[in-house]
Structure 1
C-alpha cells in the first residue's frame, strides 16, 4: 500500500463529481424513507447494490444507476441534505478544500412537477451551510443533456446565469450518445449559441466527451462549444492531432480512473498506465477525480493511492494534477 504521507497538509481539489453519486447509500436510504418514496426493494443490502458499483458494469448499465439516485434526490429538501453531506464528507475524509458538484435540475423535477428554482436554491443553501462549517470552496455545475430539446437545455443555461452569483460556477453537457426512437439526433452545434451565452456571463464550460464516445465527437464538441475542460476525454490518446490541439489550447481533462475501469472503458491497470503515460508524453493537462465517490466505492485519496500503488503516476505527477485542478477550477 502506497505511503500517502506526501499528501499530509495538501489541500485537494476535485472538479468532476456528480451530486447523486457523492452521497452514501445509508444517507440515500434515509432521504428516501424521510420522503416516503417507494423503493425497488425493502432490503437495504439489495438497495446498496443498486446505487453503487459493487461490481463492474458496462457503460449503459452504469447510466441506469443515475435513475434511482436522481429519483431519491428529487426534492428541495433532499438536495439540501445531499449537498451539505457531500461537501462536508469531502473535506472530512479527503481534505478537499475545492469541490465542484454536478447536477441536472430538470432530471430532478419529476417531469416538471418540481420547480427548478426551488431545487437549485435548496442545493445552494446546502452548499452554503457546508462551507460555513468547513473551510471549503464549493460550486455547482448545472448539466444539460443530449436527450433534451433545445428549449430544455436553454432553461438550464438560464438558471445557471440566474444563480451565477450564488454559487453556480459552470455548465456541462452529458447524457448518453445512443439514440432512442424518441430522441432527436443531437449535435453539439445545436447548443452552440446558448453555451456562448453562458460563457459571456462568466460561467465555465465543460463537456462529457471522449468517455464512451470516439474522437470524432470530441472534435465536434471542441470546435463547436470550445470548452475549457473536458469530462473524461481519454479517447484523445488515439489521435495525435487532437492531443496537440488540447495541449495548444490548454484544455484540461477531468480524468476519472476508477470510474473508467468500473465501466470497462479501461480494461486493466496496464491500459490505465498507457493512457496516463500518453497524456504526460503529449503534455496534456489533466486532473484526477472520482466521478462520484460513494457510488464508485472510492475516495480521492484512494484514487491517488491506487495510481501510485500500480506505478501509473508518481507522487510528483499526482501533486501536479492537484495543482492543475486548483488552477482550472471554475470557482473564483
Structure 2
C-alpha cells in the first residue's frame, strides 16, 4: 500500500518511452507518416507490450514508433508537456524524466541540442500547468555507439543547468560500460549526477563497471546485482541505489517470474532500492500498479513499501533542502 503521508516519486521513467498511443496516431496523421494499422485499436499492439517480449531489444523496439512521428520541435515539446500531465495524473509529487535526444531526433534529422531545448520548454510549460515537480535526466544511447554518444553528450551539456544527471541506456550487452569511461568523466566534471542502466541484460560485472568506471550512484534495474554478495554489500556500504522496475523486468524477460524478482532481497540487505515504472505508455502501467504488484506478487509488507518510498526520497537527485520541502508539502 502506498503511504499517503509520504510523497510519491518515480525516478526511473523514460519520457520517450511514455508517448501516448493516441498522440503517436495524431502526430502520424499530421506529419503524413504511414503507420502499420488503419485504426488506433489495431495500432496499440505495435507500441504497447502484450504480455512479455523475448528480450530487452525486442522490448525497446516498441518505443520506435513514438519517436518516428517527431517531425518537428513542436512535436517534441508536446510530448514533453504530456509527460508532465501524465505524471500529475498518476498521482506523483516528483518525477525524474529521462530522455535520449539523439533517439528522438534521428528519424527526421532534428538538431540534437534543439531537441533538448524543446524538451526543457515542454517540461517548464507543463510544470506551470500541473502541480508536480519534474527534473530531467539526459540519456546517452549506447546502442548507437561511442561517437554518437559524444554528440549526444555535447548537446546535453549545452543545457546542463536544466539537467540533474546523465544516464547510459540501450544495448547493455553489446556496448558495455567500459566504452564510455571518457563520456562519464565529462559528465562528472560538469557537476552532474550519474545513473546507469546495468545488470538488466548484462551480469553483475556490468553493475561493477557502472559504479567503478562510470561513477554511478544509482543503478537502473540492477537485477543481476543479486548474483554477487560482495556487490550487494558494497552498494549498501557506499549508498549506491537500485532503481527497480518490476513490470518492465518481466516484460523484457530479465526475470521470468515476477514472484522471484530480487527487490525483496535487496531491501533485506539494506540496499537503497526504490520502485519505478520505466516506460509507462509502452507497458500500459503506472506507478500505483507497481506498488500493487510489489505487495500482491512479491508479497512485500506495508513496512517494505513505505521503505521503498523513503528510499526514493533519499536517493532522488534533489538537494537536502528540496527533499525536506518535498516532504513538507504532503
1:182 aligns with none
Whole-angstrom CA distance in 2 between matches of 1:196 and 1:228: 14
Q: Given the alignment of the two structures, is residue 257 of structure 1 paired with residue 246 of structure 2, yes or no? A: yes
1:125 deviation in Å? 0.9
Give the counterpart of 1:36 among 32, 38, 43: 32
State the superposition RMSD in angstroms.
1.9
1:209 deviation in Å? 0.8
Whole-angstrom CA distance in 2 between matches of 1:26 and 1:111: 19
Q: Given the alignment of the two structures, is residue 52 of structure 1 paired with residue 48 of structure 2, yes or no? A: yes
For each residue in 1:307-330, what CA deviation from the matched residue of structure 2 results, as whole angstroms up to 9, or x when unmatched?
Answer: 112353222221221222123222
Residue segments in structure 2 that go unaligned for 5+ positions in a row: 320-330
1:251 deviation in Å? 0.7
For each residue in 1:287-312, what CA deviation from the matched residue of structure 2 results, as whole angstroms up to 9, or x when unmatched?
Answer: 10111112111110111112112353
- For residues 70-109 of structure 1, what are the structure 2 equivalents within 5 Å? 70-73=67-70, 75-93=72-90, 95-109=91-105
1:138 aligns with 134
Give the counterpart of 1:150 among 146, 149, 154: 146
2:259 aligns with 270
| Structure 1 residues 178 and 307: alpha-carbon distance in aligned structure 2, compared to 1, 3 A threshold | closer
Whole-angstrom CA distance in 2 between matches of 1:23 and 1:66: 8
1:75 deviation in Å? 3.2
1:126 aligns with 122
| Structure 1 residues 108 and 24: alpha-carbon distance in aligned structure 2, compared to 1, 3 A threshold | closer
Residue segments in structure 1 that go unaligned for 5+ positions in a row: 180-185
Report if aligned partners of 1:210, 1:234 keep a CA contact under 8 Å in 2. yes
1:115 aligns with 111
- For residues 153-164 of structure 1, what are the structure 2 equivalents within 5 Å? 153-164=149-160
2:169 aligns with 174
Give the counterpart of 2:8 among 12, 34, 38: 12
| Structure 1 residues 10 and 271: alpha-carbon distance in aligned structure 2, compared to 1, 3 A threshold | same
Give the counterpart of 2:182 among 193, 202, 222: 193
- For residues 299-314 of structure 1, what are the structure 2 equivalents within 5 Å? 299-314=286-301
2:231 aligns with 242
1:283 aligns with 270
- For residues 205-216 of structure 1, what are the structure 2 equivalents within 5 Å? 205-216=194-205
Which range moved further: 71-80 or 53-62? 71-80
Whole-angstrom CA distance in 2 between matches of 1:261 and 1:74: 32
TM-score w.r.t. structure 1 length?
Answer: 0.89
- For residues 221-240 of structure 1, what are the structure 2 equivalents within 5 Å? 221-240=210-229
Report if aligned partners of 1:237, 1:243 keep a CA contact under 8 Å in 2. yes
Whole-angstrom CA distance in 1 between matches of 2:168 and 2:32: 31
Whole-angstrom CA distance in 2 between matches of 1:330 and 1:74: 31
1:189 deviation in Å? 2.9
2:312 aligns with 325
1:55 deviation in Å? 2.1
Which range moved further: 317-326 or 203-212? 317-326
Corresponding residue pairs, total: 318
Report if aligned partners of 2:173, 2:202 keep a CA contact under 8 Å in 1. no
Report if aligned partners of 2:20, 2:281 keep a CA contact under 8 Å in 1. yes
Report if aligned partners of 1:74, 1:108 keep a CA contact under 8 Å in 2. no
1:30 deviation in Å? 1.5
